[in-house]
Amino acid sequence: MSWIEKTAAELADALAAGETTSVELTQAHLDRIGAVDGDVHAFLHVDTEGALAQAQASDERRTAGAAKHALDGVPIAVKDVLTTTGLPTTCGSKILEGWIPPYDATVVARLKAAGLPILGKTNMDEFAMGSSTEHSAYGPTRNPWDLDRIPGGSGGGSAAAVAAFEAPLALGTDTGGSIRQPGAVTGTVGVKPTYGSVSRYGLVALANSLDQVGPVTRTVLDSALLHELIGGHDPLDSTSTTTPVTGLVEAARQGATGDLSGLKVGVIKELAGDGWQAGVMQRFQESVDLLTKLGADVVEVSAPNFVHAMAAYYLILPAEASSNLAKFDAMRYGLRVTPDGDPSAEDVMKATRDAGFGDEVKRRIILGTYALSSGYYDAYYGQAQKIRTLIIEDFNRAYADVDVLVSPTAPTTAFKLGEKLDDPIAMYLNDLATIPANLAGVPGISVPAGLAPEDGLPVGFQILAPILEDARVYRVGAALESALVQQWGGPLVAPEVRK
């Protein structure tokens, strides 16, 4: 087995044992990117030189016995919505083409401090608006399971990079499912941590009250390792919690032993039914049965207000986004389009925004501006915040009876490129099951639950836990993962890149 097929934990062990070097691992992944990314298009920028220099430095540290972290030397890919000193950060938008940030996002700074070489920046829907990565201004990413299909979104680049063995680890961001839904449709693991437990400083905000940075990996244990590395308080982010982010790796290891006795699992009644693909529901139910077999006590719970989550989300998100995106005005950085004649500053702003933003971004700016307008605020933004409170109450009621809640991560498997591009509502519905966690700030994971019988494409299993109980999703996720992999006789591997 080549280095690229190993998990991050295995690579860390191999580095520690002196069986390989970071330069060798990093080069192997760069070679892989060179071989497959022409098809997959997971990356917007590949930093060959920088990654190898970081790998070289890591190897020198390790030789000197001064490795900084278990993952020191294990390469990683970073979603292009996180700022990186000296590396372009476009957020998948033309309006930021060529912008090189003068500062690192806190999570990026933590990766660098721990010695992880950064392979490059991954593709995404423009400003993280989308569920297919088709809204990237730089062209879509393709699903390594079927290159004619979408890899999910907005973090399709990170998920595809990991699924295609271009990177063992990646960072994503999840505002309404942008880590978990791509994880589901690419057969990878994605975690949205508790809101505030991972710094957002340097994450170019989509919707500040919903955004969260999280790990994208092929195994639950790898996510736990990365999550502990990036998590924890950041004085630069006022919304960051002071609770230490620990015990996740331990929970994943404990879960992998396969014992879930004493655990109460709630199946969310509202996240099933019409519009849910049969094969998705079948694999989901099999996984639920597996949890029972592992000793969990499974009950059905109702979260009646989840049916309103989508509506509330599509008011809160555009409202915050419309304000966040106002800063892109051609005055200080990024694209500047100067119309002919004697244009005013306002003319330049208009022309730049017209040329620099894609249709989906414009759609949401208009929606959000409208929702915040005087006279409409109470009816839209105000009502949405009330629904948000009701959804939090639904969660609280449910967690009074159960330890974790479960559902399929996405209603369907990966759809074809272009299939939903002209139907925003159909596109939005992909995030039906993932949005409630963002509205309530609770942590969630998506783990592969097998392939849907009708199309042979990956299905994701979502596990949600109460705020700051991220360890539970790792315990349950790892238990399910180890039982399933045992059943399958090995992890799921995307066929299109097995060439």
x/- map, 316-345, another protein, by CB under 8 A: ---xx-xx--xxxx-xxx-----------x
CA angle 83, 87, 93 (to 5 degrees): 65
In the list 51, 150, 207, 249, the residue contacting another protein (rule: CB under 8 A) is: 207
CB of 321 to another protein, least distance (A): 11
H or E element at residue 171: strand 169-173
Distances (CA, A) of 318 to 137, 242, 442: 19, 29, 21
- Closest to another protein by CB, 204 vs 248, is 204
Count CA within 13 A, CB hemisphere, residue 241.
Answer: 15
- Closest to another protein by CB, 141 vs 240, is 240
x/- map, 65-104, another protein, by CB under 8 A: -----------------xx-----x-x----x--x-xxx-
Active site (annotated) includes residue 154: yes
x/- map, 23-52, another protein, by CB under 8 A: ------------------------------
Q: Is 113 left (phi over 0), alpha (psi -120 to 50) or beta?
A: alpha
CB of 236 to another protein, least distance (A): 6
As given in the structure block, the two tokens for residue 97 are 């083409």
Active site (annotated) includes residue 178: yes
Hey, which residues does 78 pair with through a beta bridge? 121, 171
Residue whose structure tokens are 């972290």: 69
CB of 431 to another protein, least distance (A): 19
As given in the structure block, the two tokens for residue 181 are 């839904």
Q: Rounded distance, CA 178 to CA 132, Å?
A: 9
CB of 346 to another protein, least distance (A): 7
CB of 417 to another protein, least distance (A): 28
- Closest to another protein by CB, 12 vs 337, is 337
H or E element at residue 477: helix 470-488
Catalytic one of 132, 178, 287, 322: 178
CB of 82 to another protein, least distance (A): 7
- Closest to another protein by CB, 196 vs 458, is 196
Name which of residues 234 to 293 contact another protein (CB under 8 A).
235-239
Q: Are 186 and 159 in contact (CB under 8 A)?
A: yes
Going by C-alpha positions, the residue among 476, 473, 489, 480 that lies closest to residue 448 is: 480
Q: Rounded distance, CA 77 to CA 121, Å?
A: 6
Name which of residues 98 to 137 contact another protein (CB under 8 A).
99, 101-103, 105
Hey, which residues does 460 pair with through a beta bridge? 448
CB of 395 to another protein, least distance (A): 20
The helix/strand/coil state of 120 is strand
- Closest to another protein by CB, 14 vs 203, is 203
As given in the structure block, the two tokens for residue 246 are 């620990």
In the sheet that holds 404-408, the strands lie side by side as: 43-46, 118-122, 76-79, 169-173, 213-217, 189-192, 444-451, 458-464, 404-408, 264-268, 297-301
Name which of residues 350 to 389 contact another protein (CB under 8 A).
369, 372-374, 377, 381
CB of 75 to another protein, least distance (A): 23
Q: Is 304 left (phi over 0), alpha (psi -120 to 50) or beta?
A: alpha
From the list 279-287, 315-323, 427-435, 453-461, the region that binds another protein by CB under 8 A is 315-323
* H runs (alpha helix) in 262-343: 278-293, 309-324
Catalytic one of 6, 22, 58, 79: 79
Q: Report the residue count for the chain.
A: 499
For helices 220-230 and 106-114, the axis angle rounded to 10 degrees is 110
Active site (annotated) includes residue 416: no
Q: Rounded distance, CA 56 to CA 61, Å?
A: 9
Q: Are 492 and 458 in contact (CB under 8 A)?
A: yes
- Closest to another protein by CB, 382 vs 453, is 382
Give backbone dihedrals phi and psi of 145, rounded to 5 degrees, phi first: -80, -25
Size of the site for another protein (CB under 8 A): 44
- Closest to another protein by CB, 167 vs 205, is 205
Compute the radius of gyration of the chain from its Cα atoms.
21
In the list 164, 203, 260, 263, the residue contacting another protein (rule: CB under 8 A) is: 203
In the list 176, 190, 202, 255, the residue contacting another protein (rule: CB under 8 A) is: 202
In the list 46, 76, 204, 432, the residue contacting another protein (rule: CB under 8 A) is: 204
CB of 244 to another protein, least distance (A): 19
In the list 94, 110, 200, 472, the residue contacting another protein (rule: CB under 8 A) is: 200
- Closest to another protein by CB, 80 vs 222, is 80
Sequence-distant (6+) residues with CB within 8 A of 224 are 215, 248, 249, 251, 252, 474, 478
Note whether 166 binds another protein by CB under 8 A: no
Q: Which residues are catalytic?
A: 79, 154, 178
Interface with another protein (CB under 8 A): 82-83, 89, 91, 96, 99, 101-103, 105, 200-205, 207-209, 235-239, 319-320, 322-323, 326-329, 331-333, 345-346, 349, 369, 372-374, 377, 381
